Amino acid sequence: MSAVIEIEGLRKTFRSVRRGHRVAVNGFDMLVEAGQVHGFLGPNGSGKTTTLRALLGLVGPDGGRMNVLGEPAPERLARVAGRVGAIVESPQFFGNFTGRRTLRLLAVAGGVPIVRVDEVLEQVGLRERGDDRVKGYSLGMKQRLAVASALLKEPELLILDEPANGLDPAGIREMRDLVRSLAASGVTVLISSHILAEIQLICDHVTIVSHGRRVAAGPVREVLAGFDRHECRVRVAEPDRAAELLRGVGMSVTVHEGLLAVGGVAEPELITRTLGEQGLWVGELTPIRPDLESVFLELTGTTPHPALPRQVDGSALPGEESDDPVIDLDVAGDRGVDA
């Protein structure tokens, strides 16, 4: 597959007289291939939006190399701008214009047929509100308008920064369906979001960033597999005795409120066989699969602690808080965990 977005060693530091230097992106790499629905995850302040802004020519990088649809960005972005639809963080529009006029002006500026305006208003569910002033729109409606503006060009590459911001549950579902249908029609989609369950549902690939550096990348299932500790939750009548039996065959077991958490289980049937042979019948046996949220929290060191409010910049790189390696899945070639 051809690379639609390539970023290598991107660096960006914001300098301000009052606040000094702040490193936003620090040697970040990313690869998005044609046809992917690629999730871009990271805690607040980790450099997601800066990366997207740099990619779209809104922020000047201090170093690194970027390509969009085969053209170096931002130098030759103009050559492919007509094929890239994008919204970048809290989209803002001129409040006194109607949604329709906002889109119309963009369509005229970009040489897009005006008929597209009504099509995208319909597509994002703003058909009936297109003639309202934008200042009367809710956050979710502004978000829909932003997505509509990105869709106007019928892009090959769609970059959506927090597209679900402010959307109600139905809106989130509609957005998910929209992205899926776009992906099905061949559009490559890069989505930055905090709604991890949503990303897990929509995306086939993911890149996770922390402190401006990539900490994981690859197909979603492979990233998750890298964190699968082969644990099972077991409910059984005599938990203490069962724990002893399972430890006896080399499994690690912890008992909590009558439930067993059994680790190191290559084949869950071994649990039922071991316990069954001793007359203990398993009431529940559930493999514990990692989800994107737990992986994300672990990788970025942002797992909440009840007594310790986390600060915005309080994320971490893998290895800073634990000995976990940086997960670096080679998305182009071998799809394995590279410690």
Partner 1 sequence: MNLVRAEVERLAARRFAQLMLVLLALAFVITAATTVVGSHQPSARELAAAQAQVAQAISGMEAEFQRCLAVKSGQLPLDESVYLPRDCSELDPVLQERLPVIADYLPGVFVFAQQAEPLTLLLIAFLVLFGFLVGASYIGADLNSGGVVNLLLWRPGRLTVLGTKLGTLLGVVVVLSALSTVAYLGAFWLIGQTAGLPGQLDGVFWRELATGYGRGMVLVLLASALGFGIATLGRHTSAALGVFAGYAVVWELGARIVFEILDVARLEQLMLSTYVGAWLTGRVEFFDERICPGGEGLCSGSYTITGGPALAVLLALTGAVTVAAFATFRRRDLI
Q: Which of residues 61-80 bind partner 1 (CB under 8 A)?
A: 74, 77-78
If the CB atoms of residues 59 and 331 are measured against partner 1, the closer one turns out to be 59
115 binds partner 1 (CB under 8 A): no
* Burial category of 101 from C-beta neighbours within 10 Å (exposed 0-12, middle 13-18, buried 19 and up): middle
Minimum CB separation of residue 199 from partner 1 in Å reads: 23
Minimum CB separation of residue 240 from partner 1 in Å reads: 58
Which of the ranges 104-112, 124-132, 199-207, 299-307 carries the binding residues for partner 1, by CB under 8 A?
104-112
CA distances from 244 to 70, 236, 254 (A): 59, 13, 10
Tokens 């958490």: give the residue: 261
Side chain identity at residue 69, one-letter code: L
Q: Give the one residue of 1, 72, 94, 244 binding partner 1; rule: CB under 8 A.
A: 94
Q: Which of residues 133-162 bind partner 1 (CB under 8 A)?
A: 149-150, 153
Minimum CB separation of residue 49 from partner 1 in Å reads: 8
Tokens of 278: 């001793």
Which of the ranges 30-38, 101-109, 262-270, 283-291 carries the binding residues for partner 1, by CB under 8 A?
101-109
Report the C-alpha gap between 186 and 180 in whole angstroms: 10
Q: Give the one residue of 58, 114, 139, 184 binding partner 1; rule: CB under 8 A.
A: 58
* CA proximity to 263, closest of 337, 271, 294: 271
Q: How far apart are the first and last CA of the chain?
A: 25
Which of the ranges 90-98, 119-127, 191-199, 292-300 carries the binding residues for partner 1, by CB under 8 A?
90-98
Q: Give the one residue of 19, 20, 60, 309 binding partner 1; rule: CB under 8 A.
A: 60
Which of the ranges 50-58, 113-121, 205-213, 286-294 carries the binding residues for partner 1, by CB under 8 A?
50-58
92 binds partner 1 (CB under 8 A): yes
Largest interatomic CA distance in the chain: 77
Phi and psi dihedrals of 259, rounded to 5? -110, 145
If the CB atoms of residues 40 and 227 are measured against partner 1, the closer one turns out to be 40
250 binds partner 1 (CB under 8 A): no
91 binds partner 1 (CB under 8 A): yes
Do 236 and 258 touch, CB atoms closer than 8 A?
A: no
Q: Cα 195 to the chain's mean position, in Å?
A: 8
* CA proximity to 38, closest of 153, 180, 199: 199
22 binds partner 1 (CB under 8 A): no
110 binds partner 1 (CB under 8 A): yes
Do 87 and 190 touch, CB atoms closer than 8 A?
A: no
108 binds partner 1 (CB under 8 A): yes
Which of the ranges 32-40, 98-106, 166-174, 250-258 carries the binding residues for partner 1, by CB under 8 A?
98-106
314 binds partner 1 (CB under 8 A): no
Q: Cα 86 to the chain's mean position, in Å?
A: 16
Q: Give the one residue of 2, 17, 111, 186 binding partner 1; rule: CB under 8 A.
A: 111
Report the C-alpha gap between 331 and 222 in whole angstroms: 10
If the CB atoms of residues 110 and 283 are measured against partner 1, the closer one turns out to be 110
* CA proximity to 121, closest of 97, 101, 139, 135: 101
* CA proximity to 140, closest of 173, 107, 171: 171
Report the C-alpha gap between 63 and 9 in whole angstroms: 7
Residues that bind partner 1 (CB under 8 A): 14, 50, 53, 56-60, 74, 77-78, 81, 84, 86, 88, 91-97, 101, 104-106, 108-111, 149-150, 153
